[in-house]
Amino acid sequence: MSLNVDTAWRDQALGALVLVACLLCAGCATVAADLPPTYDELATQLADEQAIDAEQVIRLREAFLATPDFDERIRAVTLLEQEILGLLQVEQPLRLGPIGSATLEHYRASITGHQALAEFYHHVDMPEQAAVHEAWTHVIAGAVETTGDGTLDAPYRALSPNEAKGYLGTRELTEVGSTYRQSDERPFMLWISAARDSQPLKNVFFDLDGLYSGLAESVRRKPTTVFPIGPPRSCSELRVCDAFSPESFIHILAAGNDTAALTFLGWRGLTRFNDAVDALRLAAWSGNAMANRILAELWLRAAFNTTQASKDRDEYLVSAERNYLVAIRAGFEDAMFELGRLYVMGTYGSDKTANGLPLISRSAELDNPQALLWLGWRHVLGDSVDRDHERAEHYFLRAAEIDELGKLEYARFLMHRDVDRGFNERAFRWVRQFARNDNAHAMVLIGDLYARGLHVGKSFRRAGSWFKNAVKAAPDDPYLVNEVAWRFAVTHLPKLRDERYALEIMERIMDASDEASRNPAYLDTLAAAYAANGNFERAVAVQEQAVEEARASADNDLPILLEHLEAFRAGEEISEQVP
């Protein structure tokens, strides 16, 4: 039986179309299978699961960041979370239920939303439901901790400032102050100082690059992008679509009364003094004690730099003290040290001098390294406290447990000519290791050891080599260059003197740094180098400038500078027992 030609062709064509369709569908299925699930798909899936892990939370966060309407979603979540944080402070648990639920509808992994619902269900005596949200809270906090250790070098990754604060709550830490922080590697970080009982404040850093990058991508795609807080104005209305950056984002947050952003602008972002003070005051009035800490420094700087009448200076000092005291009540141990030091110096009058040492001691008890080193050196010299080298060593060793500077200062303590305790192998290992890691200050200390023959054989050649290596390692460090130049210019050891080199490095650093060129101590070294090279006329001119700068800044070394000036006028060099 033969087939009709038209019918045969039609059947063959239909078969081919079916085959192509099947192949295309198979390809589509393959592509679809390769695509990661969307945020909404993941959220629906996890809503029905009783047990979740940190990896699932991180996947949910990444999917949330990739949503096309991320800007609108994160704004809704942020505003709801802010309301929750306010309700938690005033203890209104019944209102937390609906707001917590609304938050999770927008973002299933909101740690703040889960905290709200856990609190709500506990209040209405539904422990099983509360346990579900407590489990979510625990896992989200654990997910944060998989991303770093909370230090500046390895900050935790968090979706938002609210997630960072929610995480701290799970660790029984209470925020007392915050600001943003930037580095080349991480342009948008949050720095929170948090308290727990009577322990030292803990500084915790969070990398918020996901939030910034998600908004930057949204800005790139659509001019209607809105931001998490503040009036719902788009990037086009704010005129930042073409120039969106971490700095512009911080300005937007500050306009929404984000206290960390206001503190950042007062600390780093503003150049006008009054604008900086206004931004910091707004943050301080909202309870951000870090703003008080920075305000204290601004007022103190204004007091010392003012050319106005003493009345203005006194008002600035009063404002500085007031803000220091607020920061101290919040637990900032560095504020305790700074105000205590000002009291001891007599900045606030003789009637407050006695208040200084208790503040510094309290700061040291909280392991503030500056306070520990200050007390250590005062016990070495018998200044403000009893001369007690055993007690001094105790403070230096505590500082050595904290950071590298403490270890170097412990070595300097052992090398002090009034300290008869001998240099030990532990200190030598520390200094040698730091020097191998190109720490220029450690190199100077090794040079001093060789010059004096402490713990090593005396060698002026090696001492000089270590001093010059230190300058090579840190040629733009005025303090270090000054230290090395002073040793070469005025040392009582003829075989160690190198007055030409001393003059060369001092002239270079003074030409390179305006601040160094006005420093009385550095001018004194430069003058001594001129005198060591026989140019007493130039030495006198430079030393007169040093005296003038010291008088303007009420420098305590003025008597020594005047003594050196008389020596240069008499054609005499400076010779001292250094190192």
Report the Cα 15 to chain-centroid distance in Å.
70
Confidence of residue 7 (pLDDT cuts 50, 70, 90): very low
pLDDT at 283: 96
pLDDT at 27: 47
Cα–Cα distances in Å, from 286 out to 119, 151, 256?
A: 25, 26, 13
Answer whether residue 197 shows pLDDT above 70: yes
Tell which wins on pLDDT, 268 or 195: 195
Confidence of residue 521 (pLDDT cuts 50, 70, 90): very high
pLDDT at 313: 87
Number of neighbouring beta carbons within 10 Å of residue 36: 11
Answer whether residue 326 shows pLDDT above 80: yes
Long-range residue pairs from 146-150, CB within 8 A, at least 24 positions apart, any chain: 146/54, 146/58, 147/207, 148/207, 150/204, 150/205, 150/206
CA atoms within 13 A on the CB side of 411: 26
pLDDT at 11: 45
CA quadruple 7, 11, 13, 17: dihedral sign: positive
Spatial strand order in the sheet of 189-195: 156-157, 202-207, 189-195, 174-181
List pLDDT tens digits, range 414-450: 999 999 889 999 999 999 999 999 999 999 999 999 9
- The predicted model gives 511-515 an average pLDDT of 92
pLDDT at 309: 64
- The predicted model gives 190-215 an average pLDDT of 94
Find the DSSP H helices in 66-183: 70-90, 93-106, 111-123, 127-145, 161-170
List pLDDT tens digits, range 352-403: 999 999 999 999 999 999 999 999 999 999 998 999 999 999 999 999 999 9
**153: CB partners within 8 A, 6+ apart:** none
Query: Rounded to a whole number, what is the distance in angstroms from the first to the last CA of the chain?
Result: 117
For residues 524 and 236, give the distance between their C-alpha atoms in angstroms, rounded to a whole number: 57
List pLDDT tens digits, range 250-281: 999 999 999 999 999 998 866 688 899 999 99
- The predicted model gives 466-486 an average pLDDT of 97
Answer whether residue 10 shows pLDDT above 60: no
Q: What angle do CA 49, 39, 164 make, to 5 degrees?
A: 85
pLDDT at 230: 85
The mean of the pLDDT values for the chain is: 91
Provide the pairing of β-strand 202-207 with 156-157: parallel
Residues of the chain with pLDDT > 90, as a percent, come to 80
pLDDT at 509: 96
Q: Lowest-pLDDT range, 52-66, 143-157, 305-319, 559-573?
A: 305-319
pLDDT at 19: 40
CA atoms within 13 A on the CB side of 246: 19
Confidence of residue 2 (pLDDT cuts 50, 70, 90): very low
pLDDT at 543: 96
User: Which among 199, 159, 162 has a CA at the least distance from the CA of 178?
Assistant: 162
pLDDT at 547: 95
Answer whether residue 50 shows pLDDT above 70: no
Number of neighbouring beta carbons within 10 Å of residue 407: 22
pLDDT at 17: 41
**429: CB partners within 8 A, 6+ apart:** none
pLDDT at 364: 97
**258: CB partners within 8 A, 6+ apart:** 161, 229
pLDDT at 271: 64
- The predicted model gives 499-513 an average pLDDT of 96
Residues of the chain with pLDDT > 70, as a percent, come to 93
Cα–Cα distances in Å, from 505 out to 197, 442, 485, 511?
A: 51, 19, 7, 10
* Inter-residue contact 524 to 547 (CB < 8 Å): no
Helices 70-90 and 111-123 cross at an angle (nearest 10°) of: 40
Confidence of residue 31 (pLDDT cuts 50, 70, 90): very low
Answer whether residue 73 shows pLDDT above 90: yes
For residues 523 and 518, give the distance between their C-alpha atoms in angstroms, rounded to a whole number: 7
pLDDT at 539: 97
pLDDT at 343: 97
- The predicted model gives 291-307 an average pLDDT of 90
pLDDT at 306: 74
* Inter-residue contact 54 to 82 (CB < 8 Å): no
- The predicted model gives 526-531 an average pLDDT of 98
* Inter-residue contact 148 to 157 (CB < 8 Å): yes
List pLDDT tens digits, range 113-163: 999 999 999 999 999 999 999 999 999 999 999 999 999 999 999 999 999
* Inter-residue contact 503 to 486 (CB < 8 Å): no
Copy the structure tokens of residue 227: 């931001």
pLDDT at 385: 92
pLDDT at 304: 85
pTM here is: 0.85
Q: Lowest-pLDDT range, 27-36, 144-153, 544-553, 565-574?
A: 27-36
pLDDT at 51: 73
For 297, the enclosing helix (H) or strand (E) is helix 289-305
